Structures are given as structure tokens and as C-alpha cells.
Structure 1
Amino acid sequence: MFFTVIGIGVFTYGALYTLLTCLADCDLELWLYEKFGKSPRRLKGKVVFITGASSGIGEYTAYALAKFGVKLTLSARRLNELKRVKTKCLELSKGQLEDKDILLLPMDVTDCASHKSQFSKAVSHFGKIDILLNNAGRSQRANWEEIELEVDKQLFDLNVFAVVNLTRVALEHFNATGEGHVAVVSSVAGVIGAPYSGTYTGSKHAIHGYFNSLRIENMRKNLHVTLLCPGPTFTNFLGEAFTGKAGEKLNSSVQETDKRMTAERCGYLNAVALVNKTQESWMGLFPIIPLIYVSVYFPVLFKLAVKVIGPQYLFKLRDSKTLDQNLHKD
């Protein structure tokens, strides 16, 4: 009887867990935090430095935080777009934020020599930075064997080395104040090898290596490290995506009929992850989340499944179109 009860309990737990991974649009830790954890309103008055804040996930994370009265440093290359985002943030804050509570820093993150001076401007303006959110980056679509080495270098400069260098600058400040929080917008491609995006996938795996190492080194300090891993999201990322040729952009676009998470929802989940200081959070519509769970916890089963469904299916799951459609410009 005792073992029967245990067996029923294990079966029930497994069935419930499987059902929730299929219904939720994020990993179950983040789902539980959203339902029962700290609300992003607990971040009110904190200062968050966001790179790549003029569009996409960075823009909508700024909106999500502004709604809760979070002070912001918004960084990107396009000043006009930053001004637009700031105006929207002030509107969404409903009086919680004033003009001085949102600092705009036009900045090319690949100019690593400017990181220290730019970060110092934010510290001087607010007196402190509580969270650095590294969001700036670009995606890629290309056949692995056709990628030029210069593309690898350029993409790593943006997606990896700029992130690492700015974080090291921020760590000087966090170490001086005795606390801090570093977050990076990675991707589910940092967990699963995404086909036909070899350099991009490599850059995100590198980010996980760098920041998992940083977390372990500082586990006894008041420094928190969060990896945010969204799946397919409605943003303009395909327009700016790298291909396999240096200097070329994909110039493609997402369609309204695509199966993607909204940027607004992704931004809010990022805010939930930040306030609850998660270590790694996954986001995406079905079947992204169960697919990640299988790849991480049942790798042999995942390998067999990939052999059956093939890389083309994974590509279509990611971009809602075939490889041939996406590698040829709209």
C-alpha cells in the first residue's frame, strides 16, 4: 500500500508537471514566481541600465519596468528612437517617473573603449545603478558551412565581447557598493543548438558560459546573475539579422500570422525574472517550453526526436516559415 501511494504520487506529479510545461509560456520556476513570487512593483525606485533599448525586447522591458516606477538608463545608437521610448515610458508610469528619472545614453555597444565613460555618466546622474540589463544584440540566418569568418567576428563582438566588457565595467561599481544584479537577454538558442544560425547559437552558448562562471565565482557575494532566454518573439530582429556574408543584413520580417510571443509579454516576464533574481528563465509559446525541458533533462530522447522531425521542422518552429523562404530576402 505504501509503495502504491508513492507510485500514484510520482505519477500525479509527473503528469501535472508535464501538463503545466505544455500550458505555460515560460519555465515553471518563472511561472510560479509570476503567480506567487515578488511583483515587479518591488523594483520601484531602483535604477536599471538597459542596452539596445530603442526597439524589440529591450524597448518592451523598459515599458514593463516603467509601469512600476523603475528609473531607467536607456542606451542604443538611435537617439530619436530612444526619445520615443522615453516618452512612452513616462506615459506608462502614470506620474511615478519624472523626466530626470529616465536618462538617454546614445551609445554603440561595440565601442568598448566608451563603456567606462558611458556607465559613469549613468552613475553620476542617478548616484547608483542597481541592475545592468545587457540586451543589445543581433540574430542570424545562414547555412553553417557558408558563414564567412568575418561574420563570426562581428557577431561575437556585438553579442559577446561588448556584453562581457560592459559587465566588467558595471562590476567595478557593484563591487564598490557591495551589491548588484547583472542580466543578459540570451535566447533559447543558448540552451538548444538552433539550426541555420550557427554563429548566433555559438554566441549565446558563449554568453551562458561566461555568466554561469561569473555567478559561481560570486555566489558568496551579493551579486546576482540572470540569463533571460526568450524564444520566437514579435520584434523587428529579422530585419537586422546577420546572414553568412559580411556586411549583409537578412532584411526579412515577421508576419502577423507567425506563432510568437508578444514583445510586451516577453518584457513583463523579464521584469518578473529580474525582481525575483532568477538564474535562468525560458520564455516561449508551445511547444518551445516542453522542447527545452526535454533537451535539458532527457537529452537522449531529444536527440532521437530531432532525428525524426529534422532540422527543417525546428527552423520552421522558430521562424514560422521554411528555410528557403527565410534565407531569401522578402
Structure 2
Amino acid sequence: VMDCCLSFLWYFIPLVLLIHFVCFIVADADFTLLRASLIGHKPEAKLKGLVVWITGASSGIGEELAYQLAKCGSRLILSARREEELNRVKCHCLENSSLKDEDILVLPLDLLETTSHEHKTKTVIQHFGHIDVLINNGGRSQRSLFLETSVEVYRALMELNFLGTVSITKQVLPHMTQRGRGSVVTVSSIVGLAGAPLSTGYSASKHALQGFFNSLRTELTDFPKILISTVCPGPVQSQIVSNAFTEELSKPVALAGSQEHKMPTSRCVHLMLVGIANGVKEMWIAQQPFLSMYYAWQYAPTFAWAITNMMGRKRVQNFKAGLDADSAYFTKPKTS
């Protein structure tokens, strides 16, 4: 029996590694998510009629989530600080789906105002009766060097991206445990798995989210029908860079840069919904060469460090030369 098991492992392990290698060469999602998209449940079937609360729904990934979930027939709570933008998103959802006005609740929300989160959650439950899915998407990024960045920026990143997300989850999760089912989906980042220069505070906040929700998932083993899922996108076409923190709280980003090399938001969101519909606990979503770095960090961290240092040096050099941090990977540094 032992010989049979060893023979099985001898062939099985290389086969799994080969499949993963092929997937990261040709795909834009991890093997588990790719498999779910090919043979798993379809979002439009699994998510129809569910009550989904989206934070950060006024732009970027959150806005696209609203549009695709509306087409799936999900009932929506749209939250962000800018109510006028939320109303714009709601109108677009109603125009392009079969949802009625009462199926979409616009609920302005500031993640920093944690004392309001209990009341906001009660408002949602009063309107819909329950919450099936919470998508923690709200937050801000960062573009600045640590040596030049105020500690207040780091405090703001942690309070918004980490503590704000923990706070709203704290209000919603007891409702889900009482019902015995539900999903908490949190948008982390590729830098929640591996750090990146110019994003030290942002990366720290996403690492914190990864650690928190990985630990929370284990605490909820008595609730097998509650999904705790984290999404780790690479660069995606959105306004996140334009709204990023810099070295000072009130200083805007000077250059947002090109979006051409980034994954289309629609593709990222489609893969997210596939993952939610199929109960995927962690989703890796990125175009190449970013996706390959996920695998390098997973299977060959020493090699990953070498590549990260090489690319990070170029990223910093181009940033100092006045180029956009993201597109800097695909451009030559300016010369005097």
C-alpha cells in the first residue's frame, strides 16, 4: 500500500505543478478560479435574488460589481461617501437590468465613521430583511516613498483599509452566523501577498486584511455555509491611482499614468463573481507578468525576492524620474 501511495505521489505532484505552470502562462486567474470558470456554477444562476452589499461602489471595481450583479439579478446595497455617484450607478443598473427601484438601496457610508456602521447595517436589514453577501471593496491606495511619507498617511491607510473593513464586517457577520449562511468577500491585492515599493502603507493594510480574514475563516469552521473569501487582484483599470494617498494627506497624485497595461475592470469582476458563486476562498486575478509573481512567491520565494528587488529598483527609479509607478514597468526611465 505504501509503495502504491508513493507511486501515486510521484506522478501526481509533478502533474499538479505542471498544470499550475501552464495555467499561469496562459491564464489571468489561479488554477482553482480558472477551473471554476470553466466547469463550476455560473454567477447568473447562483447569485440571482441574493442581497449583496458593496462598499466602494461609486467607482472602479465596486461600480463594475454593481453593474454585473444587477445583470445577475442580485438585489443591491450601494455604499460609498459620494451619494450623487451612487445614484448615477443605481440609474445605470436599473437601465440595464430587470431590477426594480426597490431592489437597489443607495446607502452613503464612510468607513472611517465606525460609530455609524451599526445603524447602517440595521438600515439594510430593515430594507431587505437580510444580507447574503458583503463585499468589502472600499479603500485607497498609496504612491509615495516611505522616507518621504508622513506617519499620518500610514495611520489613515490602516484606519480606512483595515479597521474600516473590520468594523463593517463586525456588524454584518453576527447576522450571518444567526442565519447560518452568507458570504464576506474582501478585496485585498497582489501586494497583500507580496510587498511593493511606493505602497508600503497600502501593502501593510492589505497584509493585515489577509491575516485577519485567514484567521477569521478558521474561527468559523462551525459555520460551513459562511464563505470568507479574499480577492487578490493585480493592476486593474480604475481610479484607484488617481485617488491614492501620497506623502502628505492632502497632496493629490501628480500623475495617474496609462491604464493600457492593466486588466479590464469587467474581466476582473467577472472572475470575482465566478469565485463567489463557487465558494473560492482566495482568488488570484491578474494579467501577465503579474500573475506569475503569485506563483513565484508560492513555490519559489528566493527567486521571487530576486525578481521583486530587480523590478522594485526600476519602479523607484522611474518614480523619481517622474513616471507613473505602474506603467514604469513598461517604460524606459527618463534621461537628462
State TM-score, norm by structure 1: 0.90
Query: 2 CA distance for matches of 1:28 and 1:318?
Result: 29
Counterpart AA for 2:222: R
Distance verdict in 2 for CA 1:194–1:127, change over 3 Å: same
Structure 1: stretches of 5+ with no match in the other structure: none
Of 146, 150, 154, which residue of structure 1 is paired with 2:152? 150
2:57–2:66 CA contact under 8 A, matched in 1 = yes
| Cα 1:168–1:30 shift into 2, 3 Å | same
Using the TM superposition, give the Cα deviation of residue 13 of structure 1 relative to its aligned residue in structure 2, in angstroms.
Answer: 5.1
Preserved contact between residue 117 and residue 168 of structure 2 (Cα < 8 Å): yes
Change over 3 Å in CA distance of 1:310–1:142 after alignment to 2: closer
- 2:321 is matched with none
For the aligned residue pairs, the C-alpha RMSD in angstroms reads: 2.6
Distance 1:210 1:244, change over 3 A: same
Number of aligned positions between the proteins: 322
C-alpha deviation, 1:253, in angstroms:
2.3
State the 1:80 CA deviation. 1.3
Aligned pairs for 1:115-264 (under 5 A) are 115-221=117-223, 222-256=225-259, 258-264=260-266
Name the SS of the counterpart of 1:290 in structure 2. Answer: helix
Q: Does 1:269 align with 2:259?
A: no
Q: Following superposition of structure 1 onto structure 2, how do residues 86-105 of structure 1 map, counting pairs within 5 Å? A: 86-93=90-97, 95=98, 97-105=99-107
Cα deviation code 1:151-188 (max 9, x no counterpart) = 11111111010100110000121122222211111101
Determine if contact 2:143/2:325 at 8 Å carries over to the other structure: no
**Map of 1:306 onto structure 2:** 308
- For residues 64-95 of structure 1, what are the alpha-carbon distances to aligned partners after superposition, in whole Å with 9 as ceiling and x for unaligned? 111110110000111111111111112232x2
Q: 2:197, 2:312 within 8 Å by CA — same for their partners in 1?
A: no
Superposed CA offset, 1:32-60 (max 9, x none): 11111111111100000000101000111
Matched, 1:45 2:42: no
Letter of the 1:321 counterpart: A
Label 1:75 to 1:34 Cα distance change in 2 as closer, same or farther (>3 A). Answer: same
Residue of structure 1 in register with 2:326 after alignment:
319
CA distance in 2: counterparts of 1:309 and 1:322, whole angstroms: 7
SS in structure 2 at match of 1:239 = coil
State how far apart, in whole Å, the 1-side matches of 2:278 and 2:227 are. Answer: 10
Contact 2:314 2:328 (C-alpha < 8 Å) held by counterparts: no
Partner of 1:30: 33
Q: Determine the C-alpha separation between the residues in 2 that align with 1:119 and 1:108.
A: 13
CA deviation map 1:280-308 (0-9, x unaligned): 10111101111111112211221233345
**Identity percentage over the alignment?**
37
Q: Is the contact made by 2:48 and 2:72 (CA closer than 8 Å) also made in structure 1?
A: yes
User: Do the aligned residues in 2 keep the contact of 1:51 with 1:133 (CA within 8 Å)?
Assistant: yes
Counterpart of 1:286 in structure 2 is 288
Gaps of 5+ in 2: 319-323
- Match of 2:328, SS state, is coil
Question: What SS does structure 2 have at the residue aligned with 1:106?
Answer: coil
| Partners of 2:287 and 2:207 in 1: CA distance | 21
- Alignment TM-score, normalising by the size of structure 2: 0.89
Measure the CA separation in 2 of the matches of 1:12 and 1:177: 41
- Greater relative contact order, per chain length (Cα 8 Å cut-off, separation 6+): 1
Deviation per CA, 1:181-228, whole angstroms, max 9, x where unpaired? Answer: 111111011011111110000000000111111100002213210101
